[in-house]
Copies of this chain bind each other. A is one copy, B any other.
């Protein structure tokens, strides 16, 4: 039985400068490039929680509402929200900053899940997560619902059995 770890122990901050090859013909950061950075940042967070090699298991719906421009600074903060046996859910938030213009905006948030594996790539147990702050506790609690949604979307759970998720759609 592994000793549980605190959420803050898995915190990672990653910073990237948007370079020409990261942009489309409107000089905006391409969505896929950001998904790539987010995956690396979230993976390091899951590594920190598990002290293991980790592989990406899934990324939840990510939406891109604001264009991020060439030369902007992208800051990502990732933290594990909950562990389930060998898998971990990581919450990641993204900000973009045009420093000379003094503008900073929240642009994305997403949940990635990772599986910890041994040197042969076989899943291996990870420590439980201890949530401390209110935000951590909320993320911990809602992780179950997101997990059900993932299983339903992957065809591995019957929507009828997704009790946490179903509650969202039901009337009084």
Contacts and interface: CB of A to CB of B under 8 A. Distances in A.
Interface of A: 12-15, 17, 19-21, 23-26, 28, 30-33, 35-41, 43-44, 47-48, 51-53, 55-64, 67, 70-71, 73, 99-100, 102, 112, 117, 119, 121, 149-150, 152-154, 159-160, 162, 165-166, 168-171
A52 to B, nearest CB: 6
A102 B51 contact: yes
Given A12-B15, A20-B23, A32-B35, 16 more contacts: A14-B14, A17-B40, A19-B21, A20-B20, A25-B53, A28-B55, A30-B39, A32-B36, A32-B40, A47-B99, A52-B100, A53-B100, A58-B61, A58-B64, A61-B154, A160-B169
